[in-house]
Amino acid sequence: MLNEIPFAEIEAFINEKVFQDNIRASYQRSLVGAIKKVYELVNSQQIELNYLYTKQKPTQLPAFFSQEDVSQAIKHY
């Protein structure tokens, strides 16, 4: 049954959820992961859907903190 669902239809489903239903990135990642897991468990088949995961911006710590940044951080504790 899963073999009958084309990957283009899966991609269209995910895109519909993202663009029409405005789902969050975490929900999108959950959907893609669940679909991959179902294919793996039911069909013993690994499918490539990583391109449907949201692109995450790399997080970087600032190279240094200004005196104002340190003061604000201390005030919160």
Tell me if 31 is assigned to some domain. Answer: yes
Tell me if 48 is assigned to some domain. Answer: yes
Helix axes 7-19, 25-43, angle to 10 degrees: 160
Please state, in angstroms and rounded to a whole number, the distance separating the CA atoms of residues 67 and 38. Answer: 51
Tell me if 29 is assigned to some domain. Answer: yes
| Cβ atoms of residues 4 and 42 within 8 Å | no
pLDDT value, residue 23: 86
Please state, in angstroms and rounded to a whole number, the distance separating the CA atoms of residues 29 and 54. Answer: 7
Tell me if 59 is assigned to some domain. Answer: no
Q: What is the DSSP letter of 4?
A: G
Convert the pLDDT of each residue in 22-48 to its tens digit: 888 888 888 888 888 888 888 888 888
Tell me if 11 is assigned to some domain. Answer: yes
Reported pTM: 0.60
Domain span at residue 23? 2-54
Query: What domain count does the chain have?
Result: 1
Tell me if 24 is assigned to some domain. Answer: yes
Tell me if 68 is assigned to some domain. Answer: no
The amino acid present at 4, given as its one-letter code, is E
Tell me if 27 is assigned to some domain. Answer: yes
Name the average pLDDT for the chain.
Answer: 82
pLDDT, average across residues 44-69: 76
- Residue 10 Cα to chain centre, angstroms: 15
